[in-house]
Structures are given as structure tokens and as C-alpha cells.
Amino acid sequence: MNGMDMTTYKFPPIVQETLDNGLELLCVEDHAQEGITLALQMPFGEFSDPVLREGTTEAAIGMMLKGPASLSPEEFSQELEQAGASLFTDAGDEHCVFGCKMLARAADRIIPLFQSMICSPGFLPKELTRIKREMVTGLKAELADPASIANRHFGGVLCGTGHPVGRVQTVRSVGRLGIRRVREWYNSFVSPQSGLLVVAGDFSADAMLSTLKGLFGPWKKGRSNEPVVAGPIPALAANRIRLVDKKDLTQVSLILGHSSVSELDPLRNEVALANYVLGGGNFSSRLMAHIRSREGKTYGISSQLSCSRRYGIFSIATSTQNSQAKEMLASIIDVYRTFGDKGVTQEELNKAKQFVMGNMAFQLEGIVNVAEKILWLKQFGRDLSYIEQFNDRIASITLESVNRAIGEHLSSKAFAVVGVGRKEEIGSVLAELGTVETVNFRSL
Amino acid sequence: MEKLRLFENIADTTFDNGLKAICLKKPGAPVVSVQVWYKTGSANERDGIRGISHFFEHMMFRGSKNVGPEEHARRINDVGGHYNAFTAEDVTAYINAVPREHLDMVLSLESDRMNDLVINDKVLETERRVIVEEFQTYLNNPLTKAFLEFRKEFFKGRAYEYSALGRMEDIRTVSVGDCMDYYRRWYAPDNALIVVVGDIDSCESVFNRINRCFGSRPACGADFSAPAAEPPARRPLWMKRDVDFDVPMCIVGYPAPPASDRDALPLEILQLVVSQGESSRMHREIVRRRSLAVMAGGMNQSLKRAGMSLFFAVFTPNVPQRRVEDALVAQVEAVRTGGISPLEMEKVKNTVLTNRVYELYSADHISQKLAYAESIEGDYRHWVRRLSELESLDVNALTGAALRNWDESARHTLYLKPKKVNPLLFAMGLARRLMPRR
């Protein structure tokens, strides 16, 4: 591993404790600036939405952000924003995060406010009407962006609607949401025994721990409902193709992909390194070099590896003018097949490793990134020492194991393909890959 | 304010060839951010080469004397760093961030493309195709397309009439000769700024390294003095576009001063009070109390020669557009005539301070803010001093800034009307409006 940067990354000192009610607390002191970030993670997400009521998690989180029962939504936002604080959330597929950024000097006011928002949310019915309207508007607004449309369809084409990945919010599913279901969601999932609260920033860790114990200690355990953790996605036997017809487009937006490794698969890091070489590494990737730099056929092309606990998805996304869609698609498949057949070189692998190891420095810059990294580790049951061992782990990966991973996970014979564009111009292009299902762009 | 003393670690210098450098030592994460900003953008273009600045944003990655095509990007990737570039009205900026031990490599890469960029037909034709693709991507989004038309009308006949995207007919005809002329004229050390922020030894050591890399290129010697402010058009305009966008939207734009003007900060404060957050006036009045809109917001675009203050609302099809437009205008009028309260001023101070604290965690963010303040506002110290300026600002002065700039007779309005109305969205909007209010 000559020339490879072997910096060892470490978290700052962390004080942690698990409360009697099961809530896990982690406090990370960082005195670089006068900020404090709180982030509470729960192990459930949008996959836990009831069938035909997709959007329940997002609506419920939105309701919680309107504040506790003791304050009106106006009073709550005024209290927060008057102190310069702001809330953030992340509604993932299998997890969700409630967070707050604040000044250290405002912590005495804001942390209790955050606690009451989490433990005693107001859930006013009129707020649900407002949130549903925002969600529907958001769904409609997405129809302006062909890449977003392609994304919304891709999961369904890859998995069908029987798998949680294939289910998305629609105007109809949001329309079905009622206050009873949303409250039920809260009672089923938001409870201390499955929660992890990370606080990072300008404080004394012991004092912060004491504050948090005082605030969150009395939070009563709720039900221990099992969150939905999606299972593996079966490999495709043949291409599945959907054309999303949108008449006003001069370009086609494409996504193609297949199932791949899960986050906990032993070959996960090997596939991630391979993905960097194929399409994840921007100008260092083969797809970018071939399709953009050499042929000038697109503004951007990239591949992604999205990993959850028990499944993974590999996908390639790009766009091009309708007139060159056929050539572009052929080029993408050619690059992919060559990659699958021949694998990566030692030089490519070394560069991919150097990127992954060097980039960790940025992923730990600042209190928000540190908190996010801790949550990510815990989400997958990893110890915090994973970061300290990260470079050793990456450095020990061999060319043989990466090329074996490519053979197993990036050599699919069949793809799920979504093209968003004018049916008249790209229908025949997609038909060369197999039978095409055509839908209107407003269909989801 | 104790922790904001990070600014004691800031220094600047100007080298013999006119290149200005700003450096800030930021201990913490072992990374360094290097940004090179050229003070040229779409405002420096003429008919026939509209979009050429954006060409350079692309071509600067296509190789220079000692660096092969895309090698700049690849070498930064190879050490775990990231890079980016953007073109705006007044600047074209190149962004790099790497682990700290690779600072010299980035300086060397940036100096090579400042000194000896490769410009030939092959490179130009490939990037022309890529740029046409990028242009089409923007135009395939009806919201973006309509907004580009709106800003073109807003700045009509002035330097900012064309956005950084330029004009398709010019993009198709820009030649190697045009590019060479543009490169010699604008990509000069005396028209550039380099900002280095991160975990460095000392600013002095960084300046020495910059001088070693960039010092050999002589100054261009052209007149790079800041352009004069452009007076805003004092005429109203009302535009409607029927779009394939299912959500009605209303945008109103008022003239705003150049970024260096003394009114820029007061208008920024007013913008925060009027439009930012759920406790803002627009959200409370238009979204919550009157239920006219689903969301409402705003932003100021501060440029070198002029600016634009925008306010917008997204609403449901059952609400008459005129009512939404009137409601937006009423909020602007209220601060024009009534100013803001001390409580609102305190909220602004806390918000700005929080934003600043969080910016200071990131070397990239600090670089970006320093470079913007130096290139657009004329002095990076404006950003450094922003909090103390805010402290000393007289609340009563805000009204004067609004009265001088947010001129109702110059208001531009854009109404985006959906070609197709979704019945469920209509029904939900109606239901919301019929509900009892608190």
C-alpha cells in the first residue's frame, strides 16, 4: 500500500449513558465554536407506513415539528426562532432523525423545548390538514423535475409494490391520512427504549448528561413495536422497463439498476470501492470519462450504491437529448458489461481506497457531521471504534476480493430501467431492451 | 462572541502581479479549503459570446500545460478531496478541498490552469455538447425556465440581463479565438482572488507557497476596477406563464442595491423578518392566518452592480392569484412604512449569529463567505464585521433602506399558472380555507 495515507481518525471524547427507560445518550464535547447540535434517532422510517397510507411517517414528523401540546405552533416557532435555533429532520426508509441546531447560550431554553416537542407533541388536527396540503404540493412540484420523476418510479420497477422500496407517497395516499393514524404512528414508534440521542458542541459533557437525564429520564416507555426492516430484493430475471411519458421534454432522464449488497454484507466495502471506479467517482469514474469527457453526451452521469440493513440497490442516473438516447444507452451498458467482465485494475483500486480514506476527514468536520456519523454507525449496530479502524479495514481490501464482488454484485444480466421523456422519441429506444410499460408522468 | 475570535487568525496580501490572497488558520479537522475566484462572469460578456464564462467553468477542468484533461479533478479525488466550480453574474469560482498535506498540490494545479490553459477545437466542441445538455436540463424544468425569463425582464438592457447560462445561439458559435481572447483578458492574476482556509501552519507560510506557484505570471495590467452601480429600471412589469407545473406560484421582485451599498445589510435584515422561518411575517400572515398560500418565502440577490429582492408564495388553485400577490405586496409595504420591532431585530441578530457559528465549523463555508465578500462586496472584512455592524445598526434606519429600494412602481411580478389543475389539490385547498381559524 505504498503512498497510501493512513491517518487514523478518532472521535472527540464521548460520554454516554443508557437511561432506565432505554434511551441511549451520547454527549460529544467540541469547543471550537459556540454551537450545540442535538439529534434523536429512531429505528423506524417510511417503510413502516401502512400500505395505501404512504406518507404517514412524514406527516407525523411534520406534526411533531409543530411543537408540544403546551404551546400553539405559532408560540413554538416563535420561541425557537427568537433564539436563533432551527429544527431539522431526516425521514429515512428505516430510520428517522429529529434534530435541532442552537447557540450554546440558548441551550437552557431550547433543549427543554425540544424535549417537550418529542415527548408531548400537540398533534392538532388542523395542523394535519395544513401538512397534507404541503405534502401534496411538494409531490406536485416534483413533477417539474424529470430526474425526480424517474426516481419516484425506479423503486416500483425494480421491486414491484410488494416490497417497501416499491411503494411511494402519492397524492391519493396522502389524501387518506387521518389524525387517528398519525397519532397511532407516534404511539407505536416514538418511545425512549429504541431511541438514541446524540448531543455535540460547546458544553461540559457531564453537565449536559445531567441535563438530558433530568429532561428525558421521566419519558415513559412506549410500546415495543417492531419497525419494518425491508428484506432483500430478488435479482431480476429479465429487463423491466418503464417509460414515463412527458410530452414537453427535449431530453430523456434515465435510471437503470439492479439489486446489490446490503450495508451489513461482508462485501459491502468492496462493492463501494468498485462503484467509485465505475460511476461513483465523478471525473475519476469510467462512466463519466466515457460518456461525458470523451463523447460529450451528457452533463452528468453517476452511479450510486444505496445500502440498507438487508438490501442494497445499485443504480446509474443520467440525462441526454432525445436524439442521442439510443447511443447513450448502448454506451452505458457497454461500459457496465466491460466492467463486469474485466473488473478493476490495481491502480484504480488504490485510487478508490485513497479517496475513501482521505474523505473521512471531511465527514468528521464540525459538530453536525460528527453527530450524523455517530448516528449512522449506531443505525447499523457498529461500534464507535469502527471509525478508528476504518482505514485499516479499507487498506486491507484486495484486488481479488473487489473483482469477486464485481462478479457477484455488479454483473447483472438484467436491469430495471426508467426513462422519463417523450414517448414518440424514446419509446423505440427503450423497446430495444425489452417490453416497455408506458405511463403518464402524473401517474404516481 | 468569545469563540468568533477565529478571525484573529486571518490575514491577506497582494502579490506583485496583483493576485490577492486571503488566509485563515482554522484548527480542527485536518483539511484545507482552497478557492480561486476570477472576477468575471456573465456581466462581462457581450452579444456573440453570451455564456462564455460558463464555458470556462467547464474548460478549466479539460487540461493545462502540465495537467491532462480532467486530471485536476482526478488528483483531488485521489486524496479524498472534493472540487467544484460555478459561474455567476460577476464571478467564476473554482473550489477545492483536500486533506491538509495536499495543499501544495492544489496550489500547483490552480496555478497551471491560470497560466497555461489548453484551449483547442477538440476541447471546445466536447464541452459545447456538454453545455448544450446542461442548458436543456434547465429548460426542461418549467419553473427554472420561467424564472430565467423573469430575471431577464427584471434586468433588461443592463449587465445582468443574461444569466450565466448565456444564450443558445452564442453557445453554438463561440470559437477558440473568442475563448483565447476572453482567457487573456479575464483569467489574470490581477483579476483573481485566492482564499485558503483550514488546518495550516501559518498564513505567512501559505502566502509563500502561493507566491512560489503563482508569482511567475505577470499582471495583465487591464483596468479591473469595480464597475459602477447600475440604476434599477423604474417601471413595473406583470408576467404570466402557463406552465406544465401543477402548483400555482407568484413571485414579486423589487430593485435592490449593489452588494457593497450601505442599504444591502438593512435589506438583508428586513428580508429575514419578512420571509424566513415559520415565525416570519409572511408565513404567519399569508400561510397560517389567512391560509392563502401553502408556503411563502423570499431572498435577496446581491450582485456587484445591482440587486433584486424576491418574495414568493406557492398556493392552491382555488385561491385567486390576485389575492396572493396583494398579500405579498402588503407585507413588503408594512416594513416599508412601519419598520420592524425591537423583538424582531433581536431575532435577526440571534439568527445571524447562529448561522455564523455554524458556518465557522466548515473550512469550505468560511472560504466561500470570504471570497464572496471580497469579490462581490469589495472587501472580505465586510463579512468578518457583519455581526458588529448588525449590533450597531439603528432599527429606524431599516425603513429608509426599504423606502429607497423596494419601489412599488418598479415591482416585477411573475404568475406561474398551471396548465392543468389537479382536482384533489383544489379540494384540499378549499377545505383548508373553509376550516375555522384560530
Over residues A177-186, the pLDDT tens digits come to: 999 999 999 9
> Taking 90 as the threshold, does the pLDDT of residue B280 lie above it?
yes
Confidence of residue B185 (pLDDT cuts 50, 70, 90): very high
Which three cell numbers mark B54?
460558463
Provide, rounded to the nearest whole percent, the portion of chain B with pLDDT above 70. Answer: 95
Among A residues 103-142, those touching chain B with beta carbons less than 8 Å apart:
103, 106, 126, 129-130, 132-134, 136-137, 140-141
A294 vs B13: which has the higher pLDDT: B13
Confidence of residue A226 (pLDDT cuts 50, 70, 90): confident
CA-based nearest distance B280→chain A, Å:
9
Over residues B322-348, the pLDDT tens digits come to: 999 999 999 999 999 999 999 999 999
DSSP 3-state of B201 = coil
Over residues A125-148, the pLDDT tens digits come to: 999 999 999 999 999 999 989 999
Helical pair B395-405 and B264-275, crossing angle rounded to 10 deg: 100
Q: Does A356 touch chain B (CB under 8 A)?
A: yes
pLDDT of residue B431: 54
Stretch B152-170: mean pLDDT, rounded?
Answer: 95
Bridge-based pairing of strands B249-256 and B307-314 is antiparallel
Q: Residue B312: in which H helix or E strand, if any? A: strand B307-314
Q: Does B70 touch chain A (CB under 8 A)?
A: yes
pLDDT of residue B425: 57
> Taking 90 as the threshold, does the pLDDT of residue B234 lie above it?
no
Confidence of residue B245 (pLDDT cuts 50, 70, 90): confident
Length of chain A in residues, anyone? Answer: 444
Stretch A257-267: mean pLDDT, rounded?
Answer: 96
pLDDT of residue A295: 84
Please enumerate in sequence order all residues whose Cβ is within 8 A of that of B67, keeping only pairs 6 or more positions apart, or say none: B75, B109, B112, B113
Specify the DSSP class assigned to residue B362.
-
Best mutation target among A28, A72, A81 (most B Cβ atoms within 10 Å) is A81
Supply angle C-alpha A19, A20, A26, rounded to 5.
10
Could you give the C-alpha distances from B265 to A3, A350, B227, B286, B381, in angstroms and in order? 49, 49, 20, 25, 14
DSSP 3-state of B314 = strand
Structure-derived torsion over alpha carbons of residues B427, B431, B433, B435, reported in degrees to the nearest 10: 180
Confidence of residue B436 (pLDDT cuts 50, 70, 90): very low
Nearest CB to A144; choose among B74, B127, B142 = B142
Partnered with residue B198 across adjacent β-strands are: B25, B32
Provide, rounded to the nearest whole percent, the portion of chain A with pLDDT above 70. Answer: 98
Residue indicated by cell numbers 467564476: B92
pLDDT of residue B426: 58
Q: Residue A87: in which H helix or E strand, if any? A: strand A86-91
Residue indicated by cell numbers 501559518: B202
pLDDT of residue A294: 86
The region, left, alpha or beta by phi > 0 then psi within -120 to 50, assigned to residue B221 is left
The region, left, alpha or beta by phi > 0 then psi within -120 to 50, assigned to residue B84 is beta
Which three cell numbers mark A235?
435479482
Supply angle C-alpha B103, B108, B109, rounded to 5.
100
pLDDT of residue B2: 46
> Taking 90 as the threshold, does the pLDDT of residue A244 lie above it?
yes
> Taking 50 as the threshold, does the pLDDT of residue A2 lie above it?
no
pLDDT of residue B437: 38
First to last CA, chain B: 40
Stretch B184-204: mean pLDDT, rounded?
Answer: 97
> Taking 60 as the threshold, does the pLDDT of residue B432 lie above it?
no
DSSP 3-state of B123 = helix
Which three cell numbers mark A430?
427503450
Stretch B271-282: mean pLDDT, rounded?
Answer: 97
**Using CA atoms, how far apart are residues B394 and B391, in angstroms rounded to an integer?**
9
Could you give the C-alpha distances from A13 to A8, A105, A200, A213, B173, in angstroms and in order? 15, 22, 11, 19, 59
Provide, rounded to the nearest whole percent, the portion of chain A with pLDDT above 90. Answer: 91
pLDDT of residue B438: 32
CA-based nearest distance A407→chain B, Å:
25
Are B152 and B42 a contacting pair, CB within 8 Å? no
Stretch B9-26: mean pLDDT, rounded?
Answer: 96
Q: Does A289 touch chain B (CB under 8 A)?
A: yes
CA-based nearest distance A23→chain B, Å:
27
> Taking 50 as the threshold, does the pLDDT of residue A1 lie above it?
no
Are A299 and A319 a contacting pair, CB within 8 Å? yes
Over residues A34-79, the pLDDT tens digits come to: 999 999 999 999 999 999 999 999 999 999 999 999 999 999 999 9
- Positive or negative, the CA dihedral B115, B118, B119, B124 is negative
**Using CA atoms, how far apart are residues A72 and A41, in angstroms rounded to an integer?**
25
Best mutation target among A82, A87, A362 (most B Cβ atoms within 10 Å) is A362
Q: Does B237 touch chain A (CB under 8 A)?
A: no
Side-chain half-sphere of A155: how many Cα atoms within 13 Å? 20
Stretch A399-409: mean pLDDT, rounded?
Answer: 97
Q: Of the candidates A120, A67, A62, which has an alpha carbon nearest to the alpha carbon of residue A91?
A: A62
Amino acid in the structure at residue B414 = L
First to last CA, chain A: 49
Could you give the C-alpha distances from A80 to A253, B22, B193, B220, B347, in angstroms and in order? 41, 36, 38, 52, 10
Question: Burial, B437: exposed, middle or buried (Cβ in 10 Å; 0-12, 13-18, 19+)?
Answer: exposed
Q: Does B132 touch chain A (CB under 8 A)?
A: yes
> Taking 80 as the threshold, does the pLDDT of residue B424 lie above it?
no
pLDDT of residue B5: 67
Over residues A319-347, the pLDDT tens digits come to: 999 999 999 999 999 999 999 999 999 99
> Taking 80 as the threshold, does the pLDDT of residue A6 lie above it?
no
Specify the DSSP class assigned to residue A280.
I
CA-based nearest distance B350→chain A, Å:
5
Residue indicated by cell numbers 419553473: B143
Q: What share of chain A is helix, strand, coil (3-state, %, to 5)?
A: 50, 20, 35
Best mutation target among A33, A110, A298, A353 (most B Cβ atoms within 10 Å) is A33
Stretch A90-119: mean pLDDT, rounded?
Answer: 96
Supply angle C-alpha B160, B165, B166, rounded to 5.
65
CB atoms within 10 A of CB B240: 12
Least confidently predicted of A288-292, B97-101, B230-234? B230-234
Least confidently predicted of A4-13, B52-61, B153-162, B205-214? A4-13
Which three cell numbers mark A383?
461500534
Contact across the interface for A299 and B139, Cβ inside 8 Å: no
Least confidently predicted of A116-120, A396-400, B228-232, B249-253? B228-232
CA-nearest residue of chain A to B289?
Answer: A74
Least confidently predicted of B34-43, B242-251, B286-295? B242-251
Are A157 and A98 a contacting pair, CB within 8 Å? no
pLDDT of residue A33: 93
Over residues A149-196, the pLDDT tens digits come to: 999 999 999 999 899 999 999 999 999 999 999 999 999 999 999 999
Q: Which of A290-304, B180-194, B224-238 has the highest mean pLDDT?
A: B180-194
Among A residues 383-412, those touching chain B with beta carbons less than 8 Å apart:
none
Q: For the residues of B17-73, what is the DSSP string, one character each? A: TS-EEEEEE--SSSEEEEEEEES--GGG--TT-TTHHHHHHHHTTS-BTTB-TTHHH
Mean of per-residue pLDDT scores for chain B: 92
Please enumerate in sequence order all residues whose Cβ is within 8 A of that of A243, keeping only pairs 6 or more positions apart, or say none: A419, A421, A423, A426, A427, A430, A436, A437, A438, A439
Side-chain half-sphere of B128: how many Cα atoms within 13 Å? 20
Specify the DSSP class assigned to residue B436.
P
Over residues A194-224, the pLDDT tens digits come to: 999 999 999 999 999 999 999 999 999 988 7
**Using CA atoms, how far apart are residues B256 and B407, in angstroms rounded to an integer?**
9
Confidence of residue B420 (pLDDT cuts 50, 70, 90): confident
Q: Does B434 touch chain A (CB under 8 A)?
A: no
Stretch A389-404: mean pLDDT, rounded?
Answer: 96
